[in-house]
Amino acid sequence: MRSIQKTGTKEVGGKVERSRTSGARYVLLRPAGYPLKSVFQDYPEVADARLFERYAREQWYGEVVRPGCFLFDRRLYPDFAFKVIRAHPHVSVVGSDTRIVVERKKSEAAKIKSDVSFHDVVGQVEARRKMKVVESFLTEPERFGKWAPRNILFYGPSGTGKTMMAKALSGETEVPMIPIKATTLIGEFVGEGSRQIHGLYKRAEEMAPCIIFIDELDAIALDRRYQDLRGDVSEVVNALLTEMDGIDSRKGVCTIAATNKIEFLDESIRSRFEEEIRFALPNAEDRLRILEMNVLTLPVEVGPLDLAALARITEGFSGRDLVEKVLKASLHGAIIDEVRVEQRHLELAVAKAKKETKEPPAEMFS
């Protein structure tokens, strides 16, 4: 078949000059992602190289390609970009004979392994005790068979260590974890959400044993009485339930989901979890330990501090509150005052955090 030629342009010395562009013999593409933040930060996977080549030639027929330029999918994954890594000739046009290849993606397993340990999780004794089962499974998945712990639900107030526990499980077992927020699973296009879910589990299976950690589960799994608040996410939920039910068994994959609002979850979804693990706010002893552990890492000098007294007056604070609202606020205050972190900085931060918690939002009075 005669190679395609297309009239193109090129810039020479600041002027645009007309030129004849020959047909491309070979194009190497690299998945580049979406121009805006993707609903799911992963790449479409090429299942059959020959089929993709035909698919690509049909939609990009006549496109001028050169290394560094981008080709955007207009069909299955609208606006997903592929970067041209190599083209032969260097500047050419996609034709019906062009060989189009997608660069193979390197394994990401090593990048998402956690360096957090169970020692970093303060308190939560009961949660840690129940993690022994999952830890044993991830260490020897072939030993469990149908008895594998597949779906675990973490619940409790925000900032109590649910995400950290999942990371610690990954770190202790040296198993990769794929973390994702439930809100990012809701696709913009019909069918996109279910593809994201199935792609997520397929990727996890390829890296098995592997943990899938779904944060903010309530964003997609609210009780049917609250559907008007969540929008139409039934497609995503159905795909998730299919994976959790194990119709297509994903060996060596454990799903851990987290929510701050377990009482609002749809019962059909909640029933899929074999184990519900509660995370509680830290008691005075745990608060003291959290303060002690984190004070040691402050990047400025620290004066004599009565952390035990601070632990006593921070009842109701989560671990995140102690770090973000107390220690970080105290650090910023000390830097502004150009002094070391002192007890007064900590007490002022606690008082401010309590005041912000008690005060109703300003819009209530508008």
Q: What percentage of residues in the chain have a pLDDT greater than 70?
A: 81
Name the band, by pLDDT with cuts 50, 70 and 90, for residue 335: very high
Q: Is 22 helix (H, G, I), strand (E, B) or coil?
A: coil
Q: Is 317 helix (H, G, I), strand (E, B) or coil?
A: coil
**Res 6: pLDDT:** 44
- Cα(191)–Cα(359) distance, integer angstroms: 43
Q: Is 15 helix (H, G, I), strand (E, B) or coil?
A: strand
- Cα(149)–Cα(129) distance, integer angstroms: 14
* pTM beyond cutoff 0.75: no
- Cα(200)–Cα(243) distance, integer angstroms: 10
**Res 142: pLDDT:** 86
DSSP code of 302? Answer: B
Kindly write down the DSSP assignment for every residue of 219-284, as one continuous string. GT-B-GGGHHHH-S-HHHHHHHHHHHHTTT--TTEEEEEEES-GGGB-HHHHTT-SEEEE-----H
The domain 284-358 is classified under which CATH number: 1.10.8.60, 1.10.287.1120, 3.30.1240.10, 2.60.260.20? Answer: 1.10.8.60
Residue type, 183: T
Are 45 and 83 within 8 A, CB to CB? no
**Which residues contact residue 362 at a Cβ distance below 8 angstroms, ignoring those fewer than 6 apart?**
none
DSSP code of 361? Answer: P
pLDDT, tens digit (0-9, with 9 covering 90-100), for 78-125 = 888 999 999 989 899 999 999 998 886 544 433 456 788 898 999 999
Are 222 and 237 within 8 A, CB to CB? no
Q: Taking the C-alpha atoms of 200, 205, 210 and 214 in order, what is their torsion angle to the nearest 10 degrees?
A: 20
**Which residues contact residue 94 at a Cβ distance below 8 angstroms, ignoring those fewer than 6 apart?**
4, 23, 24, 27, 56, 57, 60, 61, 62, 63, 65, 100
> What's the fold here for domain 6-102?
Vcp-like ATPase; Chain A, domain 2 (3.10.330)
pLDDT higher than 60, residue 355: yes
The domain 109-278 is classified under which CATH number: 3.40.50.300, 3.40.50.1950, 3.40.190.10, 3.10.129.10? Answer: 3.40.50.300
Are 171 and 206 within 8 A, CB to CB? no
Name the band, by pLDDT with cuts 50, 70 and 90, for residue 235: confident
- Cα(48)–Cα(172) distance, integer angstroms: 37
- Cα(80)–Cα(84) distance, integer angstroms: 13
Q: Is the preceding omega at residue 209 within 30 degrees of 0, hence cis?
A: yes
Are 62 and 136 within 8 A, CB to CB? no
Are 178 and 200 within 8 A, CB to CB? yes
pLDDT, tens digit (0-9, with 9 covering 90-100), for 276-327 = 999 999 999 999 999 999 999 999 999 899 999 999 999 999 999 999 999 9
Residue type, 129: R
Name the band, by pLDDT with cuts 50, 70 and 90, for residue 360: low
**Could you state, in order of their start, the residue ranges of all structural domains in the chain?**
6-102, 109-278, 284-358
